[in-house]
Homo-oligomer: A and B are copies of this chain.
């Protein structure tokens, strides 16, 4: 990934804070919070205001370059998206499908924090029903109760 190219392609100006933040994100292997990113920048001799860090991070998230999540300590963690791998969910009742980003980055970070393990591969299968079918089912269940 060429940082300058990435910024230019997204219509963003090339500035030291942005280049530094992207470089830090790229080189880290696990999730980082805003303050930690700022500290890393300081170690590189670049003083960036925390609000600039947050603004840059928000920007990158909107551009779908970055994933942002909270592991439970009320602090956001940020990781560059590696693959844009997605999951398809199919409703077991009406067979309608929807797509979503693979949720495993969050899980992998969580597992790493809790156990120290780094996940190298995952296989995830999900079975579920869509909102409409779930509601229909619930309505049936309650009318049956009344009718019985």
Contacts and interface: CB of A to CB of B under 8 A. Distances in A.
A103 B111 contact: yes
B125 A118 contact: no
Interface residues of A, number: 36
Contacts of A126: 111, 119, 121-122
Contacts of A134: 118
- In the complex, the count of this chain's copies comes to 2
Interface of A: 68-72, 74, 76, 89, 91-92, 98, 100, 103, 106-107, 110-111, 114-131, 134
Given A106-B110, A116-B131, 13 more contacts: A69-B70, A74-B76, A92-B120, A100-B111, A100-B115, A103-B107, A107-B107, A115-B130, A117-B129, A118-B134, A119-B127, A121-B127, A123-B125
